[in-house]
Structure 1
Amino acid sequence: MDIKQLKYFYVIAEEGQITSAAKRLHIAQPPLSYQLKSLEDELGVKLFERGSRNVTLTDAGHILYKRAQQILSLTKSTVDELTDFKDGAYGTLSIGTVSSSGASLLDSRLSIFHNKYPFINFEIYEGNTYELLKSLTKGIIEIAIVRTPFNNSEINSILLPKEPMVAAMVKDLSWTDNKIIDITELKNKPLIFYRRFERLILKACSDSNFEPTVFCKNDDARTSLLWANAGLGIAIVPKSSIKLIGSSNIIFKEIDNEDLSTQIAIIWSKKGYLSSAGKNFLSLF
């Protein structure tokens, strides 16, 4: 059993299909099937139950899958460490970001980093906080930029200053010229918000003795803003998120409520490998 066979096995287990695994590995299906059969013959156990379209792990396959995760992760970390040279001045930095923090990645810090380390390339992965935490654990990304609240004891974090939530709407839905509003002014208004902030918003409304009128919950701050821009309701988003959709018909009112706030967090795994480039990036924060 070699690393190549182990990688082939792992990808088949992840995909659940030999066909899709072959596409992901950029090889033909017959050689992949042959490698799997050779691995099973060498180990003397059946690793997959084969169906008409899909394959599922056997008990023995589950054991090897867990070991494969560890071995491949260690192999990747070893290669990364050996190729991480010149104090992080070269290489690729993999960063994950949620949509509502994407604009914050493009602030002056990134320009400063690029000017100092012009030969560092980036791979950006977008997803929700749960997906990015999973990617950190798997070693797919080194660093993630997310928003509070989140809960994971396996990560380190740097918290940026708190920022308020804003109510975003078209002019026709505005009831006041004030740039700052009290949360009670949102009573009976059709609210649109990113599901990530549901608990935070519902609690803030409850503490102000009213139940919000929820028009739409979604999984992306940009979706909230696009719906608000269409005049469908009032989006509640972090203040820095207003940059996400560029020019629009939206006006923004800051919600004066200390509990209705969020923070951007830069997070990385306590157990995973952090390259010199990653450490240099974190130093900006």
Structure 2
Amino acid sequence: MDIRQLKYFLAIAEEGQITSAARKLQMAQPPLSQQLKLLEEELGVKLVERGPRSIQLTDAGIILRNRAQQILELTDSTTREINDFAKGLKGSLSIGTVSSSGATLLHDRLGEFHKNYLGVTFEIHEGNTFMIIDLLNKGIVEIGIIRTPFNTSNLECLYINSEPMIAVMTPDYDWNSGEAGLELGELQNKPLIIYRRFEQLIRETCLEHGFEPQIFCMNDDARTTLLWANAGLGIGIIPKSAFELANHGNLIYKEIRCESLHTRVAAVWIKDKYLSSLAIKFIETFRAR
């Protein structure tokens, strides 16, 4: 049994068909079937049950699939670790970010890291918090920069300071000119533009304060909230640091005085998974700020 055979078997297990697995591996079907047969003969057990249209893993097959995933991941991480050692602190660092963390990431962490490690390039993947965690689990990015709240069960987390939510609006919506902040209850019966990520938090907090929020628009990006508010369509609710993400020439903002509506940016990575030297140095920079 070797690494190549494990890759073949894992492709069969994932595809559920030898034909599909062969296509994925860009090889002919008969040699793949032969490799599966040789693996079963070597181990002395049947790994799959063949059906008319698909295959099912036996109990032994399930054990091998789980072990194969671990072995191949360890093989990949070992290769990356040796390459890191050979190259030194050069190469590309893959980071996943939510849009609302962009200002915090660019103004502080990435700038500092770039000054110290000029040979490093970046590959940035943007999405919402759930998408970034999915990219981490798939190994597409090494580090995620996301916002609370999120499930921390399989993540190592490094948080920065908490920040308030703000209400952003054109002067036409400013019912209390000159005030730098507002109470949450003042948003009752106002058309709210919110990032879908915070819907549950905002809705539950408003209900705790005795009113149902009037949500005019839900979207998937803090920049969209800013653009719609800037067009005079309603009052946006975003984290304070996200105010710099898009055009806001028509906007003013007021901090919402409510402890429940605070959020934090966090750098996260998968527990007990290999991190490249670049990722470790970036985390150290993130921690030091």
Compute the TM-score of the two structures, normalised by the length of structure 2: 0.80
Residue by residue over 1:121-149, the C-alpha shift from the partner in whole angstroms, topping out at 9 and shown as x without a partner, is 22222232233223333433221111111
Q: Please tell me whether the aligned partners of residues 96 and 126 of structure 1 are also in contact (alpha carbons under 8 angstroms).
A: yes
Aligned to 1:153: 153
Distance 1:19 1:223 in 2: 45
Name structure 2 gaps, 5 residues minimum. 41-46
Taking a change above 3 Å as real, the CA distance of residues 226 and 158 of structure 1, as seen in their structure-2 partners, is same
Say whether residues 1:283 and 2:284 are aligned partners.
Answer: yes
Q: Offset of 1:98 from its aligned partner? A: 1.4
Say whether residues 1:105 and 2:105 are aligned partners.
Answer: yes
Residue by residue over 1:148-168, the C-alpha shift from the partner in whole angstroms, topping out at 9 and shown as x without a partner, is 112222222111111110112
Say whether residues 1:42 and 2:38 are aligned partners.
Answer: yes
Distance 1:121 1:273 in 2: 20
Taking a change above 3 Å as real, the CA distance of residues 116 and 174 of structure 1, as seen in their structure-2 partners, is same
Distance 1:96 1:218 in 2: 19
Superposed, 1:1-285 pairs within 5 Å as 2-4=2-4, 6-7=6-7, 10=10, 31=27, 33=29, 36-43=32-39, 58-60=56-58, 65-85=65-85, 89-177=89-177, 178-246=179-247, 248-284=249-285, 285=287
Taking a change above 3 Å as real, the CA distance of residues 138 and 194 of structure 1, as seen in their structure-2 partners, is same
Give the CA RMSD over aligned residues.
3.2
Q: Offset of 1:175 from its aligned partner? A: 2.6
Q: Please tell me whether the aligned partners of residues 5 and 35 of structure 1 are also in contact (alpha carbons under 8 angstroms).
A: no
Distance 2:280 2:229 in 1: 39
Q: Offset of 1:42 from its aligned partner? A: 3.5
State the percentage of identical aligned residues. Answer: 51
Distance 1:17 1:224 in 2: 46
The 10-residue stretch of structure 1 (164-173 or 269-278) with the greater mean CA deviation from structure 2: 164-173
Compute the TM-score of the two structures, normalised by the length of structure 1: 0.81
Q: Please tell me whether the aligned partners of residues 194 and 236 of structure 2 are also in contact (alpha carbons under 8 angstroms).
A: yes
Residue by residue over 1:225-271, the C-alpha shift from the partner in whole angstroms, topping out at 9 and shown as x without a partner, is 23323333222110111122245533322212222110011112221
Q: Offset of 1:9 from its aligned partner? A: 6.1
Q: Offset of 1:17 from its aligned partner? A: 9.5
Name structure 1 gaps, 5 residues minimum. none
Distance 1:190 1:50 in 2: 57
SS of 1:192's equivalent in the other structure is: strand
Larger radius of gyration: 2
